[in-house]
Amino acid sequence: MDVLRVDDRLTDEERLVRDTVRGFVAERIAPHLAGWFEDGTFPARELAPELGELGLLGMHLRGHGCAGTSAVAYGVACRELEAADSGLRSFVSVQGSLAMAAIHKYGSEEQKREWLPRMAAGEAIGCFGLTEPDRGSDPGDMRTHARRDGTDWVLNGAKMWITNGSVADVAVVWARTDDGIRGFLVPAGTPGFTASDIHRKLSLRASVTSELVLDDVRLPADAMLPDVKGLKGPLGCLSEARYGILWGAVGAGRSCYEAAVDYARTREQFGKPIGAFQLTQEKLAWMEVALGQAGLTALHIGRLKDEGTVTPQQVSFGKLANVRAAIDVARQARTILGANGITLEYPVIRHMNNLESVLTYEGTQEVHLLTLGKAITGLDAFR
Amino acid sequence: MNIVVLVKQVPDTESPRKLKSDDSTLDRAAADGVINELDEYAIEEALKIKEAHGGEVTVLTMGPAKATDSIRKALAMGADKAVHLVDDGLAGSDALQTSYAIQQALGRTGFDIVILGSESTDARTGVLAAMLSERLGVPQITLANKVEIDGSAIKAQRVTDYGYDRVEATLPAVVSVVEKINEPRYPSFKGIMAAKKKPVETLGLGDAGIDAAQVGLANAATEVVDFADAPARAQGQIVTDEGDGGAKIAEFLASKKFV
Ligand SMILES: Cc1cc2nc3c(=O)[nH]c(=O)nc-3n(C[C@H](O)[C@H](O)[C@H](O)COP(=O)(O)OP(=O)(O)OC[C@H]3O[C@@H](n4cnc5c(N)ncnc54)[C@H](O)[C@@H]3O)c2cc1C
Ligand SMILES: Cc1cc2nc3c(=O)[nH]c(=O)nc-3n(C[C@H](O)[C@H](O)[C@H](O)COP(=O)(O)OP(=O)(O)OC[C@H]3O[C@@H](n4cnc5c(N)ncnc54)[C@H](O)[C@@H]3O)c2cc1C
């Protein structure tokens, strides 16, 4: 069911992107996801070239081997990826909206030429290191620093919770300098730079999450991203990635909803399908409403982004509202599936657990509430 | 090499399909239109031939305005240009008339090879390849699961009930393909972006030199006189294995003359 038929408002091109990603995911990825989740693995190296061939990596960027689609097309792709798994969407978000976008926005021509075409093709993987073991919501107070030594830079510090960290060919690392926060491109294998995976996660298991350690990492002068200084550098990238998340959440929610509808129609108790009980119908109706609203929100913000007028508050609104909606839908769907709802035979608990990460990364729910609160009251409650 | 691939838009087999009660033609507005599945294999084969031998791939579609969706997808997969035959006068055409209209359109595009699916999922007559080659006076190679071009020769392997036929013909020719021939590619996003700029020529009856008296429902040689829903599938028979499951399966197959 899809009462509002929001997708009827998509252009031909956006629909074609949707159908392509949906078909690709159903054929090549969906069958493996529960297994990857259970094993706690994500075959990033093998998948990247396939995702690159489709054009998913950095798809909304222009030039340097990127497809240059609309923001809505990018959003729709994120939605279809996350309908499969938030880990898959995270891989694509980090590659395209964080690592590639940082180079695309702030890099030199040489840096763009060196990295973007290979990253778009999935031959090179990127990660984005902002969060630290001791600094999450307050990255402006980061500890990692870079000091000048002649013309070189020497980096020291640690980054935590870094998606794609150990599989990346290049890490975009943000560090404080005497001159404010700057971004650096750190190629894998640079002496002093190590990445080790974080294990025992119960969320986003089909995704590589790592800790990066920088121990006297020496980089040439041209490793720095020249075109941005200050916290607005990383925040500018995060705004791109959050935009993808507010679409992605709709996909995760939809997948749970579809599983619940299917189950409610076929599972019988007390002599009839559980979907025939009013309590079940109420749950399904609320899920339909929540997802319809989330879908509208995503499309509206997407159109604003394509017009070039979207504001950070609008993106915060979308991330806050849609991730919350998806979590509510996932939990309701879980109840409809009864005991089956806690197994990996169905996608619901996988999405439900994944969404806990989605709630936290790219700005926690609280951070987005404070962003809106500040916009509403004009009063800053962050500190 | 001038390669023309015939692409029909059909109702998605996953959505409910129905015939209209007033004129017994397919209700094309009621369901989402998609590329006839076998035609995706035809497109893929056309692109492969082009990649190996050079040339140009033209998509030719006869169908209502909304068939542009399917044309766009074929272009996004990599075809170079498209011809869209669209005219109210064509509505309700039967296979005989469709083959005539497509023949006329092919007169404008020219061709070295015409590639098409061996059957559509909506009408399923599976006769278009034969009718077209007859009208065009060129060899037909049907049900191909392997195609090779060697100069002006085309060699193909045909799927038959008993195995394979290996056949050869000289170009120009009409080739219909089955799904075992290849694995259709997904349109890449660069392809989707590029498709917007590729030329799509829209032809009406007059443009294509089609005689209006020879096409359309009123002039069709065949007529759908009646139709009915397929009977609901009967409940299957469940046999519980009590150690004799194998024997019971064999018995069942024998009773149906499968073994
Ligand atoms: C699976 C996963 C992948 C990730 N990938 C990346 C990545 O690729 N790159 C990257 O840089 N980071 C990544 N992160 C890190 C993520 O962005 C951070 O976890 C997030 O920013 C929150 O930081 P924290 O975990 O340190 O929590 P903290 O900032 O310590 O927050 C703890 C709690 O306190 C609340 N809080 C903090 N400040 C305030 C305040 N002022 N008012 C009210 N409440 C407050 C928070 O909302 C939260 O509820 C990832 C995280 C996860 C889980
Ligand atoms: C339910 C139904 C029943 C029908 N029954 C009959 C019937 O019994 N007799 C009859 O003469 N007509 C019939 N028709 C009409 C039929 O739709 C047209 O004749 C049709 O355009 C050609 O037949 P086909 O699709 O079966 O071709 P097929 O020979 O099955 O199709 C083979 C290939 O031809 C190409 N092709 C077919 N149509 C087009 C097109 N419009 N544009 C581009 N390429 C195309 C495609 O590559 C396709 O894969 C029926 C239609 C319907 C909906």
- Asked if A203 contacts A361 with a C-beta cutoff of 8 angstroms, the reply is no
ipTM: 0.87
* Amino acid sitting at position A158: A
pLDDT for A195? 98
Those residues with Cβ within 8 angstroms of residue B77's Cβ, 6 or more apart along the chain or in another chain? B40, B43, B44, B47, B184, B185, B186, B187, B191
pLDDT for B241? 86
CB of A17 within 8 Å of a chain B CB? The answer is yes
Long-range contacts of A188-196 (CB under 8 A, 24+ apart): A190/A217, A190/A218, A190/A219, A191/A217, A191/A218, A192/A155, A192/A216, A192/A217, A192/A218, A193/A217, A195/A162, A195/A165, A195/A166, A195/A168, A195/A171, A196/A166
Least confident of A352-366, B184-198, B217-231: B217-231
User: What is the third-level CATH fold of A126-223?
Assistant: Butyryl-CoA Dehydrogenase, subunit A; domain 2 (2.40.110)
- Per DSSP, which regions of chain A are E strands? 62-63, 66-67, 126-129, 145-149, 152-163, 170-177, 180-187, 193-197, 209-219, 268-269, 272-273
CB of A73 within 8 Å of a chain B CB? The answer is yes
pLDDT of B16 over the 80 cut:
no
Partner residue opposite B189 with nearest CB, options A19, A23, A54: A54
Ligand 2 pocket member B143 (CB < 6 A): no
A362 classed as catalytic = yes
Q: Scanning every residue of chain B, which has its alpha carbon at the shortest distance from the alpha carbon of A77?
A: B189
Model confidence band, residue A222 (pLDDT cutoffs 50, 70, 90): very high
In total, the C-beta contacts within 8 angstroms joining chain A to chain B are 46
Q: Which residue has the higher pLDDT, B15 or A14?
A: A14
Give the position, in ligand 1's atom list, of the atom nearest the Cα of A357. 53
Q: Scanning every residue of chain B, which has its alpha carbon at the shortest distance from the alpha carbon of A69?
A: B193
Listed in order, the ranges of chain A carrying CATH 1.20.140.10 are: 232-377
Least confident of A37-46, A126-135, B244-253: B244-253
3-state secondary structure of A125: coil
- CA–CA separation, B192 vs A127, rounded Å? 27
User: Which phi and psi angles does A45 have, rounded to 5°?
Assistant: -60, -45
Helix (H) or strand (E) holding B200: strand B200-203
Q: Which of A114, A132, A211, A362 is catalytic?
A: A362
Contacts of B186 in chain A (CB under 8 A): 20, 23-24, 54
Q: Which residue has the higher pLDDT, B30 or A354?
A: A354
pLDDT for A379? 97
- Asked if B156 contacts B141 with a C-beta cutoff of 8 angstroms, the reply is yes
Least confident of A163-177, B91-105, B173-187, B218-232: B218-232
Helix (H) or strand (E) holding B158: strand B153-160
Closest chain B C-alpha to A13 CA, distance in angstroms: 7
pLDDT of A8 over the 80 cut:
yes
- CA–CA separation, A29 vs B108, rounded Å? 43
Model confidence band, residue B23 (pLDDT cutoffs 50, 70, 90): confident
- Asked if A28 contacts A88 with a C-beta cutoff of 8 angstroms, the reply is no
What percentage of chain B has pLDDT greater than the value 70?
100
List the alpha helices (DSSP H) in B151-244.
189-195, 205-208
Global pTM?
0.90
Ligand 1 pocket member A95 (CB < 6 A): no
pLDDT for A309? 97
Listed in order, the ranges of chain A carrying CATH 1.10.540.10 are: 6-121
β pairing state of A152-163 and A145-149: antiparallel
What percentage of chain B has pLDDT greater than the value 90?
77
Partner residue opposite A67 with nearest CB, options B69, B72, B190: B190
Model confidence band, residue B21 (pLDDT cutoffs 50, 70, 90): confident
Q: Do B189 and A59 touch (CB under 8 A)?
A: yes
Least confident of A312-326, B167-181, B225-239: B225-239
Residue B208 is encoded by which pair of tokens? 């294509």
Helix, strand, coil: what percent of chain B each, to 5? Answer: 35, 25, 40
User: What is the third-level CATH fold of A6-121?
Assistant: Butyryl-Coa Dehydrogenase, subunit A; domain 1 (1.10.540)
Partner residue opposite B186 with nearest CB, options A15, A23, A73: A23
Least confident of A232-241, A345-354, B187-196, B218-227: B218-227
The pLDDT of B142-171, averaged and rounded, is: 96
Contacts of A51 in chain B (CB under 8 A): none
Gyration radius of chain A over CA positions? 21
3-state secondary structure of B56: strand
pLDDT of B237 over the 90 cut:
no
The pLDDT of B195-224, averaged and rounded, is: 94
Those residues with Cβ within 8 angstroms of residue A201's Cβ, 6 or more apart along the chain or in another chain? A40, A209
Model confidence band, residue A48 (pLDDT cutoffs 50, 70, 90): very high
- CA–CA separation, B139 vs A257, rounded Å? 53
Ligand 1 pocket member A94 (CB < 6 A): yes
Give the CA distances from residue B148 to residues A102, A243, B113, B162, B167, in Å, rounded to whole numbers and listed in that order. 47, 48, 12, 22, 11
3-state secondary structure of A96: helix
Model confidence band, residue A127 (pLDDT cutoffs 50, 70, 90): very high
β pairing state of A209-219 and A193-197: antiparallel
Model confidence band, residue A277 (pLDDT cutoffs 50, 70, 90): very high
3-state secondary structure of B140: strand
CB of A279 within 8 Å of a chain B CB? The answer is no
Closest chain B C-alpha to A337 CA, distance in angstroms: 25
Structural domains of chain B in order of their starting residue, each with its CATH number: 2-232 (3.40.50.620)
The alpha carbon of A216 and the centre of ligand 2 are apart by a number of angstroms equal to: 70
The pLDDT of A346-365, averaged and rounded, is: 97
Ligand 1 pocket member A163 (CB < 6 A): yes
Give the CA distances from residue B91 to residues A42, B61, B85, B101, in Å, rounded to whole numbers and listed in that order. 51, 13, 11, 12
Pick the CATH number of A232-377 from 1.25.40.10, 2.30.30.40, 1.20.140.10, 1.10.1740.10: 1.20.140.10
* Burial environment of residue B201 by CB neighbours within 10 A (0 to 12, 13 to 18, 19 or more): middle
pLDDT of B230 over the 90 cut:
no
pLDDT digits (tens, 9 = 90+) for B103-130: 999 999 999 999 999 999 998 999 999 9
- CA–CA separation, A319 vs A326, rounded Å? 10
pLDDT for B31? 81
Residue A353 is encoded by which pair of tokens? 């657990």
Those residues with Cβ within 8 angstroms of residue A248's Cβ, 6 or more apart along the chain or in another chain? A78, A79, A81, A82, A86, A89, A93, A358
Helix (H) or strand (E) holding B9: strand B9-11
Contacts of A69 in chain B (CB under 8 A): 189, 192-193
List the alpha helices (DSSP H) in B87-204.
95-109, 128-136, 189-195
pLDDT for B234? 76
pLDDT for A280? 98
pLDDT of B131 over the 90 cut:
yes
Interface of B with A (CB under 8 A): 68-69, 72-73, 76, 186-193, 195-196
- Asked if B199 contacts B71 with a C-beta cutoff of 8 angstroms, the reply is no
Q: Do B189 and A53 touch (CB under 8 A)?
A: no
The alpha carbon of A136 and the centre of ligand 1 are apart by a number of angstroms equal to: 4
- CA–CA separation, B53 vs A321, rounded Å? 53
Ligand 2 pocket member B45 (CB < 6 A): no
pLDDT of B235 over the 80 cut:
no
pLDDT for B165? 96
Residue B68 is encoded by which pair of tokens? 């542009």
Q: Which ligand is located closest to the Cα atom of residue A360?
A: 1
Q: Which ligand is located closest to the Cα atom of residue A140?
A: 1
CB of A215 within 8 Å of a chain B CB? The answer is no
Query: Mean pLDDT score of chain A, rounded to an integer?
Result: 97
Residue among A134, A161, A210 whose CB has most ligand 1 atoms within 8 A, to mutate: A161
Listed in order, the ranges of chain A carrying CATH 2.40.110.10 are: 126-223
pLDDT of B24 over the 90 cut:
no
Those residues with Cβ within 8 angstroms of residue A383's Cβ, 6 or more apart along the chain or in another chain? none
